Structure 1
């Protein structure tokens, strides 16, 4: 697995993200509630992290995710998504 110059993201992250996006689209089409989708993905993600990292490293990943939320990154994504939906009804 090759890492980016900052040593943060594996080169196959884009591919994995695309696969997850397709899985989410499929579950939405199946009428699965968004909170159920998110909960299942989070549980699966934690399971994957637990198999590949120690608890301290997992906690670091979770702290990084929390910092992104607190910095408003999710709100920015939400606004962009809403703007896209408004532009393409």
Structure 2
């Protein structure tokens, strides 16, 4: 897994994201409840992290995800950006 030239993300991250998006689309098409889809993906992701990272690194990934929730980044994905002049 190679980092991009700026050291920001693995070069195959976009491809992996596309594959996950297709899997989500497929499961939703099978009428699997969104919470079940998300729980299965999260469980799989945590299992993969556990096989490839130590606990400290996993905790940092989870802290980063929590930060995205706390700062409203995920809300923006759901609701769109706030109106101009509002934060």
What TM-score comes out, normalization by structure 1 length? 0.85
5+ residue gaps, structure 2, are 81-87
Q: What is the match of residue 64 of structure 1? A: 64
Structure with greater helix percent: 1
* RMSD after superposition: 1.1
Aligned residue pairs, count: 80
Q: What is the match of residue 33 of structure 1? A: 33
What TM-score comes out, normalization by structure 2 length? 0.86
Q: Distance in 1 between matches of 2:54 and 2:8?
A: 17
Q: Distance in 1 between matches of 2:9 and 2:67?
A: 17
Q: Distance in 2 between matches of 1:21 and 1:56?
A: 28
5+ residue gaps, structure 1, are 81-89
